Amino acid sequence: MVDADAFLQMGREVLAKQPFSVLLGAELMALESGRRELAVAIADALKQQMGFAHGGGVSYLADNALTYACGTAMQVPVVTSEYKINYARPAIDERLIAPARAVHVSRSQAVCRCELFALRGGEEKLCAIAQGTIAKLPDRNEAST
């Protein structure tokens, strides 16, 4: 079991190795056991034709935040198995944050939940809600064919 600071550092190193996360400018804000928060600035590049954050960018954040929450809880390499997301409100503000946590952890996977908030001037507005299964990376001989 590593301490929280070391785990936060590991999480940031993984993020830095993901070209897609770097492209979107994702930042890992907090990381304690079973709970983490991922954030992105809603730069122009994340927008769709009406000036809102594109649903795909919101989904990216949900997917990744769920995965970090599980990885933090299980402390092993993990991948998203499945998730669902409900969009509640267009994200038209400055920054998206995605606090997530594991709500049930078994040996091979965790069920995680995430809320996504748009932030402007310190005010948070809920813009999406996600729930999904994050799985321990299978050993090579268990992999799907």
88 burial (CB, 10 Å; 0-12 / 13-18 / 19+) is middle
The correct pick among 36, 37, 39, 63 for binding a copy of itself (CB under 8 A) is 63
The count of residues interacting with a copy of itself (CB under 8 A) is: 54
Nearest approach, Cβ of residue 48 and a copy of itself (Å)? 4
Per-residue string for binding with a copy of itself, 77-96, x by CB under 8 A?
--xxxxxxxxxxxx------
Nearer to a copy of itself, 30 or 88 (CB): 88
SS3 readout for the chain = CCCHHHHHHHHHHHHHCCHHHHHHCCEEEEEECCEEEEEEECCHHHECCCCCECHHHHHHHHHHHHHHHHHHHHCCCEEEEEEEEEECCCCCCCEEEEEEEEEEECCCEEEEEEEEEEEECCEEEEEEEEEEEEEECCCHHHCCC
Per-residue string for binding with a copy of itself, 122-141, x by CB under 8 A?
----x--x-xxx----x---
The correct pick among 10, 12, 14, 95 for binding a copy of itself (CB under 8 A) is 14
Q: Which residues bind a copy of itself (CB under 8 A)?
A: 14, 17-21, 23-24, 44-49, 54-57, 59-61, 63-64, 67, 79-90, 103-104, 106-108, 111, 113, 115, 126, 129, 131-133, 138, 142-145
